[in-house]
C-alpha cells in the first residue's frame, strides 16, 4: 500500500486566503522588513523567520504586507546565505546519514535513503545553477555510488 502526504487527517496550517494584509495586523511594511532584517542578522533561517513573525508578532504572511518574500528582503540587505536553505538542509541530512553508515556499514535501508537524498541534492543543485543561485563550478561529492 502506498502512503500519501496528508493521508491521515487535515490538521495542518493553511495560508491566508486574501492577498491583502488583514485589518487586525497593525505592522507597517517598514516595520515587518526591519523585523526580518533583525532576525536575519541573528542568523535565523528564512523558514524560521516566517514562523517567528507568525507566532510572536502576529504577522500572517510577510509577502502580503511588504510585497516581497523573506528571502528577497534578506537578499536586498546582503544577509542571504551562499547556499539555499533547502539545499543546506539536505546536505546536513546526508552528512548525518554518512556518519551513521560509517558505524553501521550493513544498514541497507539507510544506504538507499542516502542515495535518494543525494539524488535530491543533485537535482536541486542543477536547478540552482541554472537560475544562477549557485556558481557553475559548485559540486557535491556523493558518498555512496552503489547500494553495494
Q: Is the dihedral of CA 86, 88, 94, 96 positive or negative?
A: negative
User: What is the chain's Cα-based Rg?
Assistant: 19
What is the percent of the chain with per-residue pLDDT over 90, rounded to a whole number?
58
Task: Confirm if 73 and 53 have CB atoms less than 8 A apart.
Answer: no
Residues 43-97 pLDDT 10s: 999 999 999 998 999 888 898 899 999 999 999 999 988 889 999 999 999 999 9
Task: Confirm if 58 and 88 have CB atoms less than 8 A apart.
Answer: no
**Cell numbers describing residue 68:** 516581497
Residues 66-77 pLDDT 10s: 999 999 999 999
For residue 79, give every residue at least 6 positions away whose Cβ sits within 8 Å of its Cβ, in sequence order, or none.
37, 40, 41
pTM: 0.75
Residues 105-123 pLDDT 10s: 999 999 999 999 999 999 9
Q: Rounded to whole angstroms, how far apart are CA atoms 88 and 134? A: 12
Amino acid at each position: 500500500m502506498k502512503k500519501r502526504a496528508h493521508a491521515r487527517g487535515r490538521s495542518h496550517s493553511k495560508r491566508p486566503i486574501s492577498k491583502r494584509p488583514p485589518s487586525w495586523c497593525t505592522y507597517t511594511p517598514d516595520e515587518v522588513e526591519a523585523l526580518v532584517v533583525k532576525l536575519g542578522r541573528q542568523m535565523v533561517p528564512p523558514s524560521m523567520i516566517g514562523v517567528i513573525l507568525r507566532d510572536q508578532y502576529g504577522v500572517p504572511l510577510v509577502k502580503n504586507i511588504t510585497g516581497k518574500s523573506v528571502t528577497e528582503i534578506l537578499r536586498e540587505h546582503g544577509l542571504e546565505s551562499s547556499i539555499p536553505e533547502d539545499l543546506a538542509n539536505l546536505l546536513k541530512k546526508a552528512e548525518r546519514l554518512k556518519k551513521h553508515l560509517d558505524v553501521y556499514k550493513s544498514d541497507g535501508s539507510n544506504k538507499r535513503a542516502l542515495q535518494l537524498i543525494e539524488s535530491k541534492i543533485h537535482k536541486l543543485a542543477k536547478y540552482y545553477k541554472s537560475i544562477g543561485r549557485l556558481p557553475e563550478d559548485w559540486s557535491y561529492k556523493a558518498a555512496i555510488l552503489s547500494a553495494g
